Amino acid sequence: MSGQPADDVVVPHRRGSTHLMHGTRTTGHHFTVPLDHRTSDGETITVFAREYSSLDYDDDATADLPWLLFLQGGPGGRGSRVTQLGGWMKAAAQHFRILMLDQRGTGRSTPADAATLPLRGDAAAQAEYLAHFRADSIVADAELIRRQLVGAPWTVFGQSFGGFCTLTYLSVAPEGMDRALITGGLAPLSGPPDQVYSATYRLVEARNREYFAKYPEDRTTLTRIARHLEAIDERLPTGERLTVARLQMIGSFLGGNTRVDALHFLLEDAFVSTANGQRLSQVFLDAVWAQVSRSSNPLYALLHESIYCQGEASDWSADRVLAQHPQFLPTAEEPLLTGEMVYRWYFDQDPSLVPLRDVADLLAAKADWGSLYDTAQLARNTVPAAAAVYQDDIYVDHDLSMRTARAVKGLQAWETGDFHHDGISDDGEAIFNRLLGMTGWPA
């Protein structure tokens, strides 16, 4: 596991401007942190975080509020940009100053993408660099920032991959946490990535069946589009051909409560009559591209399988497990939509990822990933912790999540079928307040 910072390490910190907008106060913060936390005198990178607080509190009252760190989903997801407080942030701002982290490599932190990674050198050098971008390094960044900015323990709220990071935080630096809140993010504490994909293929298939039962005409439309793409060259806005495999990626809509219905509207727009016959509409092609391109978050594709690795290689796990689920193959008679799986062909078909193909292969073959969780520490955990575990989450399996919940002493799990993976986007205020209350707030 990446080394945690020594108690006496002080990181350079630059406070940015404060802005007021729609009842919200925001302040940017730039921190200089070690690339490798095991060698604090080595190379450094910048990590950016934005502070949000409510104008219901004046400056003096805000200064007295405890802090909450939000860890975004991903990997490769930057912190949310909001212009006013709503949802879970509205609820949190009643009690906390919120720090929204741009996890290393994302947003305004030192970037790691197809444009900047070549500065590291060849593919091997780039892969070595990216080995420092997992949850252990993100948590070490957060702990340095807490000591510099806050001092006292803070509340940590993690969504999805952010919940994985929160478990790592509980493992390696529980003294920095006042309480832990997790939504859709209880990761398996051990075992290969294959167990994750074996479960999620089953869940995504069930969600496909549920969706097509609700919108049976969309099954016909999707199959029609697939056959059309096999015969007709249709191009995405970035110029590459849309394949059936990339079309299947619009299954990302299936992970949401309300977003799933937006998939219906997308498929409604598929075809338009032209001088050359029926073709896919530009509206449809643009919307598909927005869902399937990884140009703005390549770390998601590069590191996604590594977030499950501890002492083993992923070896393109989703690709290998796919062989057991032929109904998801593009060549299937009625191909199903896929979920969060990352396939090797992404790095052949997505122009933004093509330059990173060799890097991705090296990361997939890496077998010496360090541990992300300390199961002994989790078993004696004393930090108040609560997690929302969604019964029908197609990205984070309920049964694997509950196995983890039982391994963390004192963690209270709220099992619910009312939400899918993006529950905090649907009713974040209620979910946040419930989890906060489960940890004994107010004390």
Catalytic residues: 160, 368, 421
- List the one residue out of 337, 382, 105, 148 whose CA is nearest residue 244: 337
C-beta of residue 432 within 8 angstroms of C-beta of residue 92 = yes
Q: What is the CA radius of gyration of the chain?
A: 22
Q: Which CA distances in Å does 227 have to 175, 223, 243, 247? A: 57, 6, 10, 11
d(C-alpha 394, C-alpha 325), whole Å: 15
- Does residue 146 sit in helix, strand or coil? helix
Amino acid present at 338? T
C-beta of residue 255 within 8 angstroms of C-beta of residue 395 = yes
Q: What letter would DSSP give residue 397? A: -
Relative to beta strand 385-390, strand 277-280 is unpaired
How many helices (H) and strands (E) in the chain?
17, 11
Amino acid present at 283? V
Q: What would the two tokens of residue 414 be?
A: 């709220």
C-beta of residue 157 within 8 angstroms of C-beta of residue 181 = yes
